[in-house]
Structure 1
């Protein structure tokens, strides 16, 4: 029996049935996509914040219509994997009533609105972006013409939190900063434009930016069968010309001036573990989800935990983990114990806390390797052999596209096919450090999947043996000449 999706869409004359064979490539909630392990449905969660009732409903949905397998994505979406049963209209209606499904189906495919998972609770924040996330989502829901935007059109709102999202790739980023005595947002279009925007102006500016981009897409041919991205507009027009066109449709002049040189630098801090909130006597705890994976029963129990011992709020992160916020400090010991009872942990110094991987060959036709299983197997193997004392981020990418992570991090493995004798096997080119784009510095070429744990173990042993005091892994790799680093690896390997 095939899998079908009922699509509640008044604009198309009411509900209609979409067969599995007609599902689109890019997943949404109402329009799943076909992966190798079944149909994948993606829930768009603006800002990544869920309440307990929403979590219970999602867990029930996953149990009834799939195998109960959920996954947090690198935009703080929540994916339901292996959907195997028809999902009827009343389920979609219930999700809309609870605010976990777009009120207007047509805008559902647009990328999730990204914000720091610590918005409103971060002691370092300059502005609370949660009202802006809601306001922009409301704007999308009430302007159906924006459904014609590219599904990859992405907005990020950074309020100056320690758990900053500024390093994530977004078409448009508004980042809070100080300009003399006031706090404003600075507009980034791939890079800093130098334009300052008042908080009250943000939605008007985002709407004008989206409208100008939409007009551009209508007058340009498709690229590889897809709508032009914002980067294509910027390549054609340039950022300044784009902003000038936008400004013509605004009732105010955009400010162009420098941020106060004394403004803080971006200080990324670990979000896993326990952290005090800006609200006195309350803390949040960051919980590790290896590769973002979460069982429906774990989600249900975490929601129960948050409801009973905190404010009932779970926050999904772009690092594919989650937070429980608003925990009275008197309840921290109890909540840690119950998290451990669910088979989860909050440590930032375990390798399974620091993994990022794309869907891999199990879910994507472009991938050369099964990244998800290789990443988890490596973490399990190395957990028995070494201990790390600080976060080391490891990224598995099934191909050169690097969908899961767009910037160099500590260690990146890029999937390839390796010819060994008369057979072709899965393997990786391994890069380290952040000095050379796009993946870092080449360290080990053509390593088979079976040899990955040994190669990463060797790299980490060299770091732990030869690093300077308080030196991070990335700093250690980047200060070495590549031939010096190879010599250290060879020496350690011989020992």
Structure 2
């Protein structure tokens, strides 16, 4: 998306090499500054709303081939990562990417987290409002206000349009969730507060669509007013809210607004009230429903959700999908926070042809594919914090299960090399936490196994210190028990594991 205001392109005098961003305190990877990883330099490209054009796809694929490992990774915020960069990316190349709308037009704010929305925004048959304009407006606002470089690199905003494919259960600092009130569309305001890792909490505030951007701007102004932006470690919004208290924070927000914040229950001016727990959507509901072939709200058009094994896309595959989008669709790909992607706007008469060409690229679009809900961090080949080779182990597990078990619905299996849980912050059906331990006279890579939902970060622990050689058969048994003992075909693995005793799951 292009910014209409205050563009700050990279100066030509920077010469060769990856740039150290003006806002040097950013700790998250970006396009304009170096982020070392175990497998080389890592570059992360923000894709606001996850929508990327055919031309942009080709440019990024070329970067991956010329400078990186020949592939790109889709992240859990619908960013793109290029890994294994050995030599700095030429500054002229970075300027070219900026001019193509990749990365922020103002480099000092490019470290701020990607703006999240549903990958089916504008095409979801049940959505209440198309959130793409909100993403574009907020991205333009960030680019036009360099003072926002003082925000935490993890400052995150999400817009949910209330459709089938929702993102309102994803962890974000600020969430605007569309709701219908007396036939009019409003947004409920949710903020991240309380314990780390908890879903955002309902502030009891209803906003009209036109009020969202001013409220967002005021929320950032209050954050900056209470944050020492010269510190290397910036406070998370959650930390500031916990310190000041939500009521005090919102009162300062109100002072910066020309309109009153309204209580969503009473329609009156905001008054102190207990915070409501996030309850619009149960965590996990609707996950992976975007995989496969689906009708759009536009009559006669379809989108296809494609499985990317562990979010990875070879550069040749990326170019091939971009060409498909240009030939049969609207010339864009839509990245998802579940590390897959969509091709949209396909006329019905071309759906079969697109399916065949997707298969020719070596990709699949079946939700029952074990890889459709398989997630793994970069592992010890790409990250020094990881105890295990998560990506290789995840692919080996998928290969093992594909020959022995057929799933009729996705089961989210999450490999995490350490407790930071970088690849997936939300709860999964099965979490495999990497550990090193002594066995057979040496140090081996293994996993603790967790299932379902609980007050614990990863769920209920059912196994400890499982070597990877033992793991595939163990997971196969767990999934087999689920298939034969679930109450009905619609009972998810998460629901099944939550009602079962640990001993039953260990059968």
TM over 0.5: yes
3-state DSSP class of the match of 2:190?
A: strand
1:333 paired to 2:352: yes
Conserved in 1, the CA contact under 8 Å of 2:16 and 2:89?
no
| More off after superposition, 359-368 vs 311-320 | 359-368
**What is the aligned partner in structure 2 of residue 198 from structure 1?**
208
Quick one: which of 469, 472, 475 aligns to 2:495? 475
Quote the Cα distance in structure 2 between the aligned partners of 1:141 and 1:49. Answer: 18
3-state DSSP class of the match of 1:218?
A: coil
**What is the aligned partner in structure 2 of residue 215 from structure 1?**
225
Q: Give the deviation of 1:468 after TM superposition.
A: 1.6
3-state DSSP class of the match of 2:470?
A: helix
Quote the Cα distance in structure 1 between the aligned partners of 2:68 and 2:495. Answer: 44
3-state DSSP class of the match of 2:294?
A: strand
Quote the Cα distance in structure 1 between the aligned partners of 2:410 and 2:73. Answer: 21
Quote the Cα distance in structure 2 between the aligned partners of 1:131 and 1:25. Answer: 29
Quote the Cα distance in structure 2 between the aligned partners of 1:259 and 1:425. Answer: 59
Conserved in 2, the CA contact under 8 Å of 1:20 and 1:34?
no
* Post-superposition CA distance 1:432-483 (Å, at most 9, x none): 1124431111111110122211111110111112112222211111111223
1:299 paired to 2:318: yes
Conserved in 1, the CA contact under 8 Å of 2:436 and 2:444?
yes
3-state DSSP class of the match of 2:227?
A: helix
Quick one: which of 286, 291, 297 aligns to 1:268? 286
**What is the aligned partner in structure 2 of residue 60 from structure 1?**
62
| More off after superposition, 371-380 vs 465-474 | 465-474
1:268–1:87 distance in 2 versus 1, CA, 3 Å: same
Quote the Cα distance in structure 2 between the aligned partners of 1:210 and 1:290. Answer: 37
**What is the aligned partner in structure 1 of residue 272 from structure 2?**
none
User: TM-score, normalising length from structure 1?
Assistant: 0.91
**What is the aligned partner in structure 2 of residue 15 from structure 1?**
14
**What is the aligned partner in structure 2 of residue 189 from structure 1?**
191
1:264–1:21 distance in 2 versus 1, CA, 3 Å: closer
Aligned-pair RMSD on alpha carbons? 2.3
**What is the aligned partner in structure 1 of residue 113 from structure 2?**
111
Quote the Cα distance in structure 1 between the aligned partners of 2:216 and 2:331. Answer: 31
Conserved in 1, the CA contact under 8 Å of 2:19 and 2:91?
no
> Hey, which bits of structure 1, 4+ residues long, moved more than 6 A?
8-13, 19-24
3-state DSSP class of the match of 2:226?
A: helix
Conserved in 2, the CA contact under 8 Å of 1:180 and 1:259?
no
3-state DSSP class of the match of 1:373?
A: helix
* Post-superposition CA distance 1:156-180 (Å, at most 9, x none): 1111121111111000011101123
Quote the Cα distance in structure 2 between the aligned partners of 1:36 and 1:401. Answer: 16
Quote the Cα distance in structure 1 between the aligned partners of 2:246 and 2:413. Answer: 33
Equivalent runs, 1:113-262 vs 2, <5 Å: 113-190=115-192, 191-218=201-228, 226-258=233-265
| More off after superposition, 321-330 vs 11-20 | 11-20
Q: Which runs of 5+ in 1 are unaligned?
A: 1-7, 490-495
Q: Alignment length, in residue pairs?
A: 475
Q: Which runs of 5+ in 2 are unaligned?
A: 1-6, 193-200, 268-278
| More off after superposition, 459-468 vs 429-438 | 429-438
| More off after superposition, 266-275 vs 470-479 | 266-275
Conserved in 2, the CA contact under 8 Å of 1:174 and 1:186?
yes
1:295–1:218 distance in 2 versus 1, CA, 3 Å: same
Quote the Cα distance in structure 2 between the aligned partners of 1:199 and 1:21. Answer: 37
